[in-house]
Amino acid sequence: MPPLKDVSGITNALPFWLSLLTVPLVAVGLVNGGWTVWIVPLYAWGMISILDNIAGLELRNIDPQTPEDKLFWYHLVTIIWFPIQFIMVFSAIYVLTRGDQFSGAARIGMMFGVGVASGSIGINYAHELMHRKGRLERWLADLLMAMALYGHFRSEHLLVHHVHVATPHDAVTARYNEGFHRFFPRVLYQCFISAWRAEKTLLARRQLPVLAPGNPFWRYGALQFAFLFLAYLLGGWAGIGLFAFQAFVAIWQLELVNYVEHYGLTRKYLGGGKFEHCKPQHSWNSAKKVSNLLLINLQRHSDHHFKPDRSFPLLQNHAKESAPQLPFGYSVMTVMAMIPVLWRRRMNPRVRKWRAMYYPEVVDWSPYKIGHHSEPETAK
């Protein structure tokens, strides 16, 4: 077993601050224009993929019993990101809606890069923050999700996804052979509906109506409206359009990652409407070192679903004996997901191998399809 990683001091935490490099890259694009408006996606997909290939795997873990007071420098980057992203997004809108130094295509390219940052980093940090218990962390998560116009994600993620992951009841679990271009529009409306129903159920248990002030959808909507209004004040209708575009890119980034994380994996049906407990084998794992630094260990997703309350520095890497492994980091896998033929060629054999390894007794997987709740057929 690899030795435990050292956790002490700021020096060991600083590599997880790799995301902050996107800020000067956005500034370079806003100042210089031209091809530099594409520098953020080139960094996020191109450079990170190259560095992943050079640096290889990080198989060491931090002791999961490490007390939280030793993790301050790890968590600080997630706390400070919201004001950084706020300045980045609205500065971009202010600059791009003034003067004619940017063509229409350059404006789109610049906000595409900003959306990549607010999606791959902002939403990822929001994901970490919403799993924490503090009021400040939850508020920061809501603010970051509102900047992507996707506030309901917190309700859907905590109340639906983590409960039903790797079952037909979870919209976010991509089904075997389901291409991303079918998956994406499906989750956009199904996740909103499931989040609304989950909050409605919680309010009903407290004998409150669905429109009670305690429904977080009021907060989601108010924050999203506030950001849209600020975009209008800074750039008029063009400002709203640019803000909405970066939000769409951020959502697209989120759902690309969701698609990769659980594609084709299913918990075993136990009968009576119940599925087995979620285990590391029900999420795809990747130990690619650099992309895990950029994404604060999001690729250790097998452990995240196994222990949802474990903060990102303490997430454990699971070897191929206990969790299925992706062939590449997310920077490559998300690009591959956009090309269904290439995706199926790479991933479908891995799903079939996973089924044979963990559930050799299941001979008919069709009951695990969307909307199909009959008993799976098992080998006699």
**What would the mean pLDDT of 337-345 be, rounded to a whole number?**
96
Question: Would you report the helix, strand and coil content of the chain in percent, each value rounded to 5?
Answer: 65, 5, 30
Q: What percent of the chain has pLDDT over 90?
A: 84
pLDDT digits (tens, 9 = 90+) for 247-268: 999 999 999 999 999 999 999 8
Any domain includes 14: yes
3-state DSSP call for residue 233?
helix
Q: Sorting pLDDT into bands at 50, 70 and 90, what band is 367?
A: low
Residue predicted with more confidence, 380 or 298: 298
Rounded Cα–Cα distance for residues 204 and 213 (Å): 13
Q: Do 260 and 284 touch, CB atoms closer than 8 A?
A: yes
Over residues 190-212, the mean pLDDT reads 95
In a domain, 4, yes or no: no
Quick check: is 264 in a domain?
Answer: yes
Tokens 């917190």 correspond to what residue? 154
Whether 224 maps to a domain, the answer reads yes
Average pLDDT over residues 342-357: 95
Q: Average the pLDDT over 90-115 and give the result.
A: 93
Domain tally, the chain: 1
pLDDT at 136: 96
What's the pLDDT score for residue 310? 93
The answer on pLDDT for 86 being more than 50 is yes
- List pLDDT tens digits, range 5-62: 777 778 889 999 999 999 999 999 999 989 999 999 999 999 999 999 999 999 999 9
Residue 285 phi/psi, 5-degree rounding, is: -115, 145
244 lies in some domain: yes
Mean pLDDT of the chain, nearest integer: 92
- The 8-class DSSP code of residue 17 comes to G
- Residue 338's pLDDT is what? 96
Residue 94 belongs to some domain of the structure: yes
* Higher pLDDT pick, 10 / 120: 120
For residue 111, being part of any structural domain is answered with: yes
Mean pLDDT of 328-353: 96
Given a cut of 80, whether residue 365 has pLDDT beyond it is no
First to last CA, the chain: 38
Asked if 9 and 313 count as a contact pair (C-beta separation under 8 A), the reply is no
Query: What pLDDT band is residue 371 in, cutting at 50, 70 and 90?
Result: very low
9, 82 contact by CB (below 8 A): no
Cβ neighbors of 323 (< 8 A, separation 6 or more) are 280, 281, 283, 284, 285, 302
User: Which carries the bigger pLDDT value, residue 362 or residue 61?
Assistant: 61
Domain extent, residue 343, equals: 9-378
Predicted pLDDT at 281: 94
**Burial class of 42 by CB neighbour count within 10 A (0 to 12, 13 to 18, 19+):** middle
Give tens-digit pLDDT for 264-323.
999 988 888 888 999 999 999 999 999 999 999 999 999 999 999 999 999 999 998 899
Contacts for 260 with CB less than 8 Å, ≥ 6 apart = 284, 326, 330, 333, 334, 337
Cα 192 from Cα 317, distance rounded (Å): 31
Q: In which band, very low, low, confident or very high, does the pLDDT at 375 lie, cut at 50, 70 and 90? A: low
Q: Is the pLDDT of residue 182 over 50?
A: yes
What does the angle CA 325 – CA 122 – CA 12 come to, to the nearest 5 degrees?
65
Q: What percent of the chain has pLDDT over 70?
A: 96
- Per-residue confidence at 380, pLDDT binned at 50, 70, 90? very low
For residue 368, pLDDT over 70 is answered with no
273: Cα separation from own chain's centroid: 28
* Number of Cβ within a 10 Å radius of residue 196: 16
Does 282 map to a domain?
yes
